[in-house]
Structure 1
Amino acid sequence: MFSGLRHDVRNAGRYLGQTIRLMVGLPDYETYVSHMRKIHPDRDVMSYEEFFQERQAARYRASTGKCC
């Protein structure tokens, strides 16, 4: 009876965490790894540190539309 509820709560927590990370601009490494293994199995997966640095660089490199 409660196993379905436990699964639902776990999924809700996962989605809430992902949403919060996206709202504050933190990249989601688990989603990246899943995507790479599923869609690009021939490519190497970056370490968390490499992924974080690349996402930070991409975020701050995109300065179109800013005046400063």
Structure 2
Amino acid sequence: MSLLRTLRRMARLMVGVPDYDDYVRHMAANHPERPVMDRKAFFRDRQEARYGGKNGGRCC
């Protein structure tokens, strides 16, 4: 892995942006029978997991 790619990945993880390409590689290697989400669905799924979904995890 190149230094630039490593730094980019670290920066994304620090601000909470997961790496879609890593997700695709993981799914292909570990779960080939399961469908892979597209980028938009992946981003939405990760945002909901991080911030609690509806209403950003807040009650109101």
Q: TM-score range by the shorter chain?
A: 0.7 to 0.9
Whichever residue aligns with residue 23 of structure 1, its letter is M
In the TM superposition, what is the alpha-carbon distance from 1:23 to its structure 2 partner?
0.4
Q: Deviations over 1:11-30 (max 9, x none)?
A: 11111010000001101100
Bigger mean CA deviation after superposition, 53-62 or 16-25: 53-62
Opposite residue 40 of structure 1, the aligned amino acid is H
Gaps (5+ residues) in structure 1? 1-9, 64-68
Identical aligned residues as a percent: 48
Aligned to 1:13: 4
Which runs of 5 or more residues in structure 2 are unaligned?
none
**TM-score normalized by structure 1?**
0.74
Residue 39, structure 1, aligned to residue 11, structure 2 = no
What displacement does 1:36 show? 0.2
Figure out how many residues of one structure are paired with residues of the other and give that number. Answer: 54
TM-score, normalised by the number of residues in structure 2: 0.83
Q: Which has the larger Rg?
A: 1
Q: Distance in 1 between matches of 2:2 and 2:26?
A: 18
Instruction: Tell me what 1:66 maps to.
Output: none
Alpha-carbon separation, structure 2, partners of 1:11 and 1:42: 30
After the TM superposition, which segments of 4 or more aligned residues of structure 1 sit over 2 Å from their partners? none
1:43 CA displacement: 0.4
